[in-house]
Amino acid sequence: MNSIPCDIVILPTPELTKEAIASSIRLEQYGTLFILQNDTYVPHVSLYMTQLKISSLAKAKELLADIATRTSTLSLVATDYSQTEGYIDADYLRTNEIAHLQMRVIDAINPIRDGMREKDKTRMLAATGKVRENLKKYGYRGVGELFRPHMTLTRFDDSKAIDTGTLSEPSQFSGQFIKLGLFEMGDNGTCVRKIAEFKLEGKVYV
């Protein structure tokens, strides 16, 4: 294996991490494929899902470390829940700050990516319009206007949907995101192994 699927993410404060894990555990009663944890299935908001060669990870870490030193902590507002294909997500407003950070990450990492993740190769077969354009250019569909910042709480094992009115207000997931992370991706878009993380410690990046 000389290439792995990776997820470049922002990571919340310990307090928000704890809240996300507790909420994920409460959803386990419905039958889930995973629940969030501190070490695997880490709570996060994805910026760029991509494929990287093992030999490129050092360069990726160097690029992300530079971005983190120039980027301030992000404050995100959770506005709603969404459910698709069994996933239950807390959705965030797409602010200029997170949109610009996503593009800085993609512009830095896209030149060293190793083709596409297998799932995106499959999506490419039926993709049209902006989805196809993004897949061809970035190897990832959720870029620019298709970027939907969200935190996945779990995925139900039979793709069921639940009444989100039984959950706490999505605003419980509003808060600060304080680190940029590089993770190996597992099934269901999970962050299963931390490769590196970098504190967001700069002023607002222009």
The pLDDT of residue 121 = 85
| Share of residues in the chain with pLDDT > 90 (%) | 84
Q: How far is CA 164 from CA 7, 94, 187, in A?
A: 27, 21, 24
Domain ranges of the chain: 3-160+173-199
Q: Counting beta carbons within 10 angstroms of the beta carbon of residue 15, is it exposed (0 to 12), middle (13 to 18) or buried (19 or more)? A: exposed
More confident residue, 61 or 159: 61
User: Do 152 and 87 form a contact (C-beta atoms < 8 A)?
Assistant: yes
User: Under CATH, which number does the domain 3-160+173-199 receive?
Assistant: 3.90.1140.10
pLDDT tens per residue, range 146-156? 999 999 999 99
Q: Does the pTM exceed 0.85?
A: yes
The widest CA-to-CA distance across the chain, in whole angstroms, is 47
Dist. CA 146–CA 137, nearest whole Å: 14
pLDDT tens per residue, range 92-151? 999 999 999 999 999 999 999 999 888 888 888 888 899 999 999 999 999 999 999 999
**DSSP-based three-state secondary structure for 38:** coil
Give 203's pLDDT tier (boundaries 50, 70, 90): low
If we measure between CA atoms, which residue out of 8, 2, 15, 105 comes closest to residue 54? 2
